[in-house]
Amino acid sequence: MGKPTGFLEYPRQTGPELPPRQRLQNFREFHLPLSPADQARQAARCMDCGVPFCQAGQTMAGMTTGCPLHNLIPETNDLVWRGALPGAWQRLQSKNCLPEFTGRVCPALCEAACTCAKDGEAVCTKENERAIAEYAFANGLVDAAPPPVRTGKTVAVVGSGPAGLAAAWLLNRRGHSVTVYEKADRPGGLLRYGIPNMKLDKAVVDRRIAAMEHAGVQFCCNTDVGRSRPAAELLERYDRVLLACGAGRPRDLAVPGREAKGIWFAVDFLGAVTKALLDSNYEKPPYELAKGKRVLVVGGGDTGNDCIGTVLRLGAKSVTQLEMMPAPPAARTAANPWPEWPRVAKTDYGQQEAIELFGKDPRLYQATVSRFEADKKGRVCAAVVQRLAPHKDPATGRTVMQPVPGQEETLKADLVLIAAGFTGCEPYLPAALGAPLTKRGVLETQGEGYATALPRVFAAGDARRGPSLVVWAIAEGTGAARAIDASLMGYSNL
């Protein structure tokens, strides 16, 4: 390593963030980059520890620790420290074909497994990755040239989220002719319509789409395969079909009053906000959706936090977030040692903003909705919240949350956003193809591979793995591209 003692000399430093009240004025990204010199010093903190858990991507205690893409993290960090960013880009993109996204929205599984994190603070690998990617785009290092030779093989990719984009990028570079089908009006999948702009600027998505189009990938938007376009047509027209259509069936709340107006699935709401911003070139935020309203967010994950940040930018009067599980501990417990993923309390940007505006944490733990109440016009006006307590299931040993008798309260709410996760694929496309689903509601593939039971049809991303992270979707798309390439050519050099 260029700086063997860097982790002893330099404290962890992340890029600055705009203050909450300032960033709430718009939907722009608010996490700013470090200077090149400061970024190099952060890369110098990498220990060259000998066993890079950061790039292992292995399962421990049921969760992934380290990068699922197996990024060459110590090598890349060393090159950033030396100022050799072109070389750092070559190392990075050899494993991760979409690092501009993971450098922004990944929860940094690599940092959780960093050896520096065992007794101190992790290396800022995620920010290093973003800095490398931005340097590459700014300096023309992203190879968007069409492949010099075409194989004559054709591939259809259904879905333009991170799994579909990763597969399409790699298969096109291999020389196959790739067409991506997207049911929305713009490509990007959840990168476009599931992640708010302040977390992932859509110009970053547009930049990658433009590079792919320049390289020869074709995008067909407003095309809902299995509905507006027959699924069987793809099998007739293309040599291979990849289903990267996500696991977008949201988990609902089966409670009385659910039919009231003003109750949204979270991703539908986030998508509507983003579409309004894009359609107006960011000049007309849809304030009418949340301005002056008391908002209830049901679900404590990243999507729930994104909902908080979004409604605050739209002028919500108040916001409460329900989380079924108990509050996590402030630090690792003995049952959660390094390098496992740390199951500790985290206050994300939306929650930070709510605390700044309202003076309190918006989260209400060990609580769920037992029923909704509506006004005379049929609009939601309140939610009855049931308190929960953890109990051990004697049959499985797992912790389950059970209602506490007599502990209910009524919360006024004019807007409810359900961010309770997803339950699997939308069923119409698999049904149209006759593709079997697993008990988890995702596409069934052969063994650990990506081929489905249908000849020439493959699956990847959330559609195969189940609801997961962007970094896992890219890893899935990469693996599927390799499998498709090998099935077409007899081998793969991807």
277-302: pLDDT as tens digits? 999 999 999 999 999 999 999 999 99
| 263-418 has the same fold as 154-248+423-489 | yes
> Per-residue pLDDT for 464 more than 90?
yes
Q: With pLDDT > 90 as the criterion, what percentage of the chain qualifies?
A: 96
What's residue 267's pLDDT?
96
Q: What pTM was estimated for this model as a whole? A: 0.96
The mean of the pLDDT values for the chain is 96
- Average pLDDT value for residue range 327-356: 96
Average pLDDT on 361-368 reads: 97
Give pLDDT, residue 476.
Answer: 98
Task: Return the HEC string of the chain.
Answer: CCCCCHHHHCCCCCCCECCHHHHCCCCCCCECCCCHHHHHHHHCCCCCCCCCHHHCCEEECCEEECCCCCCCHHHHHHHHHCCCHHHHHHHHHCCCCCHHHHHHHCCCHHHHCCCHHHHCCCCCHHHHHHHHHHHHHHCCCCCCCCCCCCCCCEEEEECCCHHHHHHHHHHHHHCCEEEEECCCCCCCCHHHHCCCCCCCCHHHHHHHHHHHHHHCCEEECCCCECCCECHHHHHHHCCEEEECCCCECECCCCCCCCCCECEEEHHHHHHHHHHHHHHCCCCCCCHHHCCCCEEEEECCCHHHHHHHHHHHHCCCCEEEEEECCCCCCCCCCCCCCCCCCCCCCCCCHHHHHHHHHHCCCCEEECEEEEEEEECCCCEEEEEEEEEEEEEECCCCCCEEEEEEEEEEEEEECCEEEECCCECECCCHHHHHHCCCECCCCCECECCCCCEECCCCEEECCHHHHCCCCHHHHHHHHHHHHHHHHHHHHCCCCC
pLDDT above 70 (res 151): yes
Fold of 6-138: Fumarate Reductase Iron-sulfur Protein; Chain B, domain 2 (1.10.1060)
Name the CATH architecture for the domain at 154-248+423-489. 3-Layer(bba) Sandwich (3.50)
Q: Dump pLDDT digits (tens) for 76-127.
A: 999 999 999 999 999 999 999 999 999 999 999 999 999 999 999 999 999 9
pLDDT of residue 353: 98
- Assign a CATH topology to domain 263-418: FAD/NAD(P)-binding domain (3.50.50)
- Give residue 2's pLDDT band: very low, low, confident or very high (50, 70, 90): low
Name which residue leads in pLDDT, 4 or 375: 375
pLDDT in tens, 204-220: 999 999 999 999 999 99
Domain boundaries, the chain: 6-138, 154-248+423-489, 263-418
